[in-house]
Structure 1
Amino acid sequence: MLQPLVVGLGRSGSGLHLRALARLARRTAAMGDPLVALPAVGCDPRAEALRAAGAPGEITTLTTLEQALAMVEPATTVAHVCTPPRLRHEVIARLAGHGVRRLVVEKPLAASAEELDALIRLREQADLDMVVVAHWTSSRLADRLRRLVRGERLGPLRRITVDQHKPRFLRSLTTEGHPTALDVEIPHSLGLALDLAGPADLRDARCWDLRCEDRTLPRLGGAHVELEHRSGVTTVLRSDLGAPVRQRSVVCEFERSTATAHFPLSEDDDHAQLVVAGECDAGHHVFRDDALTAFFEGAYRDFASGTANAGNFPLACATARLLCAAREHCAVVAPTPAGSR
Structure 2
Amino acid sequence: MLQPLVVGLGRSGSGLHLKTLARLAGRTGSTGDPLVALPAIGCDPRAGVLRLSSTPGEVTVVTTLDQALDHVDPATAVVHVCTPPRSRHALIEALAGHGFRRMIVEKPLAASRDELDALIRLRDEAGLALVAMAHWTGSRLADRLRRLVRGGRLGPLRRITVDQHKPRFLRSLTTDGHQSALDVEIPHSLALVLDLAGPAELRAAHCWDLRCEDRELPRMGGAHLELEHSTRVSTLLRSDLGAPVRQRSVVCEFDGGTATGHFPLSEDDDHAQLVITPVGGDAPAAPTGAPATDGGPGPGHQVFRDDALTDFLEGAYRGFLSGAPDAGFSLACQTARLLCAAREHRATATSARTGSR
Partners of 1:169 and 1:105 lie apart in 2 by 25
Match of residue 300, structure 1, among 295, 317, 333: 317
Taking only aligned residues, the RMSD between alpha carbons, in angstroms, comes to 1.2
Which residue is 2:200 aligned to?
Answer: 200
Contact 1:263 1:272 in 2 (8 A): yes
1:175-324 matches, within 5 Å, as 175-279=175-279, 281-308=298-325, 310-324=326-340
**Structure 2 CA distance for aligned equivalents of residues 17 and 265 of structure 1:** 17
Note the residue ranges of structure 2 that are not aligned, 5 or more in a row.
282-297, 352-357
Deviations 1:209-252 (A, max 9, x none): 00000010000000000000010000000000000000000000
Q: Which has the larger radius of gyration?
A: 2
Structure 1-normalised TM-score?
0.96
Partners of 1:81 and 1:70 in 2: CA distance: 19
Match of residue 342, structure 2, among 322, 326, 330: 326
Return the alpha-carbon distance in structure 1 between the equivalents of residues 146 and 48 of structure 2: 41
Runs (4 or more) in structure 1 with deviation over 6 Å come to none
Letter in 2 for 1:96: A
The answer on whether the counterparts of 2:47 and 2:62 sit within 8 Å (CA) in structure 1 is no
User: What is the Cα deviation at residue 332 of structure 1?
Assistant: 2.0
Residues 246 and 265, structure 1, Cα contact 8 Å, conserved in 2: yes
Q: Could you report, residue by residue, the CA deviation over 1:3-57 in whole angstroms, capped at 9, with x for unpaired residues?
A: 0000000000000001110000001111000000000001011147632252211
1:1-341 mapped onto 2 (5 Å cutoff): 1-47=1-47, 50-52=50-52, 54-279=54-279, 281-308=298-325, 310-334=326-350
Instruction: Determine the C-alpha separation between the residues in 1 that align with 2:348 and 2:46.
Output: 34
Instruction: Note the residue ranges of structure 1 that are not aligned, 5 or more in a row.
Output: 336-341
> How far apart in 2 are the matches of 1:53 and 1:198?
40
Identity, % of aligned positions: 75
User: Counterpart amino acid of 2:194?
Assistant: L
Q: CA separation of 1:49/1:184 partners in 2, compared to 1, >3 Å: closer, same or farther?
A: farther
Q: Distance in 2 between matches of 1:300 and 1:115?
A: 26
Matched to 1:295, the amino acid is F
Amino acid in the other structure paired with 2:319: D
- Normalising by structure 2, report the TM-score: 0.92
CA separation in 1, counterparts of 2:346 and 2:184? 15
CA contact (8 A) 1:9 1:49 kept: no
Separation in 2 of the partners of 1:124 and 1:49?
37
- Matched residue pairs, number? 334
SS at match of 2:304: strand
Q: Distance in 1 between matches of 2:346 and 2:6?
A: 32
- Partners of 2:69 and 2:192 lie apart in 1 by 34
Letter in 2 for 1:182: L
Cα 1:186–1:100 change in 2 (3 A) is same
Instruction: Call closer, same or farther: CA 1:49–1:36 in 2, change over 3 Å.
Output: farther
- Name the CA distance, whole Å, in 2 between partners of 1:53 and 1:200: 40
